[in-house]
Chains A and B, each alone.
Chain A
Amino acid sequence: MIITLPILLPLAGALIAIALGHLHALNRWIGIATSLLTLLVSVILLAAVDKAGVHVLHVGGWEAPFGIALVADRFGAVMVAVSCLVAFCASIYALKDIDDSLIKKHFVPLFLLLLMGVNGAYLTGDLFNLYVWFEVLLSSSFVLLVLGSEQKQLKGSLKYVVLNLLGSTFFLLGAGLLYGKVGTLNMADLAYKLSSHELSSLVNTSGILLLLAFGLKAGVFPLFFWLPNSYPTVPHTVSALFAGLLTKVGIYAIIRSMTLFLSGAQDDMKELLIAVALLTMVFGVLGAVAQKQIRQILSFHIISQVGYILAGVALLTVAGLAGAIFYLVHHIIVKSNLFFIAGMIQHQRGSDDLSKSGNLRKLSPVLATLFFISAFSLAGLPLLSGFWAKLAVLKAGLQEEAWLLSSCVVLVGIVTLLSMLKIWIGSFWSGNGTSDSGEPIKSHPLPLSMLLPSILLAILTLGLGIMGGELYSFSLRAAEDLMDPMNIIAPVLKISP
């Protein structure tokens, strides 16, 4: 039963928050309490899944393949847990970052419904149900994106909304065609039926439609251009939330489909995936070079990081998938934290433009330390979590003798470092605390509710760096589960392997 709670708790919280919409302060605390509860539940679920294996629930008592099955394996459970962690931090951060005018416009229910959609997508075992969860999280993200309806938000939302709707259409088409060919939409049943069929490559045309939809949501090359347009326009809490949750759902769907019901297409798709991963890495990091605002730079880095994760996936080996899972966990934590920090820079200095903020190293040593940990973890400095993540992907690439991919992993890492140095020098190192006209720049003190979530995530980043082995061995277990589709098929369809 615990498998339903990461979905039901945010729903209940959202309903209560709507009912008590006029009590703004209470609304915020409902958001915090609900996301904390969901986080606790998801950690319990993760521990249970890691210990006892895949959890399956046939919703409403309808047996698979006819009903909808909720499935939690190690990979899905860890994604739920990390997402809930980010959501919890964001709900605290929102205390000061989101003002009452947005709370009045139902920020908290939207936030919780987004979390519900994300958790549902990670836990469902049914392709059409996945489509529905995608729509749930998309609808919430649409509204969060334009909440407040400032001009720049409305402008930035156009590409996001139109392209994601197009992606949903592709998803629907792919799912429909797949149903026409195989006669089932249960992912495990799909995999089971296709694995025993000699012409299973005939579903590749439908599969590519699905991958197109997932790729669009994940922000891979050449489908990424909606991302840097929309993420920097929203409140900082929302952009941190989006950075941590949204594109990862796309990546998750790619991994799930490639290892489960499209596993017959692995040989055909491998080269395509590797090429896409390479281009995503390179274009993302090069896009960041030209940018001057911190959130713009970070948005482009999301794209290049998605490329790294996809590189691990594209190798389609246990080591590659383990690298990808490790990278996902590290990336969600670090990237959300960087957006939190960008928000604090903006709060303290009134701008996150690199040329307008400076000397934060002296003004706020705490902020400088937080940024140092997260940014250089992202760049992959040794002993921080990003180093192990990059190392895992690189090692998997070298094992497969994918030389081009491996060299790109190293080179893009160096450019990422340069990019982070640019922010470090621009916002923290340079300047002497005075503006051009010689007056001291005013700086606002940082509220504790902004610092705390960031400190929590930074400690986790350090922890993952020092105890990287623990997470890596977990990722290996999760990847081994993924590589054998029978691990999902057997418990869902109740057949013995």
Chain B
Amino acid sequence: MEWILATTSGVLLAAGFYSLLKRNLLQILIGILVLGHGASLVVFLSGGLKPGKPAFVPEGATVLGANQADPLPQALVLTAIVIGFGITGFVLMLFKQSWNVVGTLSTEAYRSSGSEGGNA
């Protein structure tokens, strides 16, 4: 099971980077999303998979038992997903506003912004 998920996360990361290199803002956004999913999957896998085992730790225990899944990566992934959700919402609005103001989603229009930022 691990190898399927490990391969999947690798494919997701590769696809994310590929999409990030595109010249369209929407494709870049998809790249960011897919990269985030790949990273989340890596974090989720980092605790090891124990299918069918609960992630509840008895009170007072300091070591993970053999019949317990590690709850920490699940909590981390949940946090990362929530943060990613918020950021995605922001980036979508940002790109929409850019579309309204700049008038294009092609990154070409964004290239020379810095060096003559004052009069752009």
Is B one of A's binding partners?
yes
**Would A177 and B42 be within 8 Å (CB), given that A149-B101, A157-B94 are in contact?**
yes
A233 to B114, CA, bound (A): 8
Per-residue 0/1 for A278-312: is the Cβ within 8 Å of any B Cβ (1 yes, 0 no)?
Answer: 00000000000000010010000000000000000
**Residue A16 CB within 8 A of the other chain:** no
Complex-state Cα separation, A452 to B30, whole angstroms: 46
CB contacts (< 8 Å) of B15 on chain A: these are: none
User: B36-55 interface mask toward A, CB cutoff 8 Å, 1 = contact, 0 = none?
Assistant: 10111011111110000000
**A151 near B118: Cβ-Cβ < 8 Å:** no
Most buried by B among A172, A179, A230, A352: A172
A224 CA to B22 CA, complexed, in Å: 21
Asked whether A257 is an interface residue with its Cβ less than 8 Å from the other chain, the reply is no
Chain A, 161-189, contact with B by CB distance < 8 Å: what is the 0/1 string? 11001100100110111011000010000
Q: Does residue B67 face the partner (Cβ distance < 8 Å to A)?
A: no
With A135-B83, A139-B86, A142-B90 known as contacts, the answer to whether A154 contacts B98 (CB < 8 A) is: yes
Q: Say yes or no: B113 contacts A177, CB within 8 Å.
A: no
B interface: dominant SS: helix
Taken together as a complex, chains A and B put the C-alpha atoms of A353 and B115 apart, in Å, by: 12
- Does the CB pair A162–B86 fall under 8 Å? no
* Chain B residues near A161 (CB-CB < 8 A): 91, 94
The minimal Cβ–Cβ distance linking B80 to chain A, given in whole angstroms, is: 6
Give B17 Cβ to nearest chain A Cβ, in Å: 9
Which residues on the A side are within 8 Å of B94 (C-beta)? 142, 146, 154, 157, 161
CB of A169 within 8 A of CB of B113, answer no
Q: CA separation between A135 and B113, bound complex, in Å?
A: 25
- A158-B107, A166-B35, A179-B43 known; A232+B79 contact, CB < 8 A: no
Verify if B66 is at the interface (C-beta below 8 Å from A). Answer: no
Shortest CB distance A144–B (Å): 12
A156-B114 Cα distance, complex, nearest whole Å: 6
Q: Tally chain A residues at the interface, Cβ within 8 Å.
A: 42
> Which residue from B39, B90, B101 sits with its C-beta under 8 Å from A139?
B90
Nearest B residue to A229 by beta-carbon distance? B114
Nearest Cβ on chain B to A351's Cβ, whole angstroms: 8
Which of the listed residues B47, B62, B73, B113 has the most CB atoms from chain A within 10 Å of its own CB? B113
User: Do A162 and B32 touch across chains, with their CB atoms under 8 A apart?
Assistant: yes
Would you give the shortest CB distance from B28 to chain A, in whole angstroms?
A: 6
**B117 CB contact (under 8 Å) in A135, A139, A152:** A152
Min CB distance A301 to B, Å, is 15
Tell whether B109 is near chain A: CB-to-CB under 8 Å. yes
A176 touches B76 (CB 8 A): yes
What's the minimum C-beta distance from A322 to chain B, rounded to whole angstroms?
Answer: 35
> In the complex, how many angstroms separate the beta carbon of A36 from the nearest chain B beta carbon?
30
Is the CB–CB distance between B20 and A135 below 8 Å? no
Given contacts A139-B86, A176-B39, A179-B72, are A146 and B113 in contact (CB under 8 A)? no
Residue of A nearest to B75 (CB): A128
- The verdict on A173 contacting B42 (CB below 8 Å), with A132-B83, A139-B90, A156-B114 known, is yes
Asked, given contacts A132-B83, A233-B117, whether A158 binds B46 with beta carbons under 8 Å apart, the answer is: no
Residue A320 interfacial (CB < 8 Å): no
Contact B46–A177 (Cβ < 8 Å): yes
Kindly state the separation between the CA atoms of A128 and B76 in the bound complex, as whole angstroms.
Answer: 8
Give chain B nearest CB distance to A69 CB in angstroms: 15
| Neighbour of A232 across the interface among B44, B97, B118, CB < 8 A | B118
The CA of A133 and the CA of B83, in the complex, are separated in Å by 11
Report if A494 contacts B (CB, 8 A): no
B5: interface (CB < 8 Å): no
| Cα–Cα distance between A146 and B115 once the two chains are bound (Å) | 18
Residues of B within 8 A of A296 (CB): 115, 117
CB-nearest residue of chain A to B48: A180
Residues of A contacting B72 in the complex (Cβ-Cβ under 8 angstroms): 179, 185
Check A228 for interface membership: any CB of B closer than 8 A. yes
Kindly identify which residue among A128, A143, A158, A233 contacts B90, using a CB–CB cutoff of 8 Å. A143
1/0 contact string of A128-140 vs chain B (CB within 8 Å)? 1001100100010
Contact A172 B118 (CB under 8 A): no
Known: A139-B90, A169-B35. A132 touches B113 (CB 8 A): no
Q: Could you say which of A143, A172, A179 contacts B80, with CB atoms under 8 Å apart?
A: A172
23 cross-chain CB contacts under 8 A: A132-B79, A150-B101, A152-B117, A155-B98, A156-B113, A157-B94, A158-B110, A162-B20, A162-B28, A169-B36, A169-B39, A172-B40, A172-B43, A173-B43, A176-B39, A176-B46, A177-B42, A179-B73, A232-B114, A296-B117, A351-B118, A352-B118, A353-B118
Query: B interface vs A, CB < 8 Å?
Result: 20, 25, 28, 32, 35-36, 38-40, 42-48, 62, 72-73, 76, 79-80, 83, 86-87, 90-91, 94, 97-98, 101-102, 107, 109-110, 113-115, 117-118, 120
Known A176-B73, A296-B117; further 4 A-B contacts with Cβ < 8 A: A131-B80, A155-B110, A172-B80, A228-B114
Top 8 A-B pairs, shortest CB-CB distance:
A180-B46, A155-B113, A176-B43, A229-B114, A152-B120, A172-B39, A176-B46, A158-B110
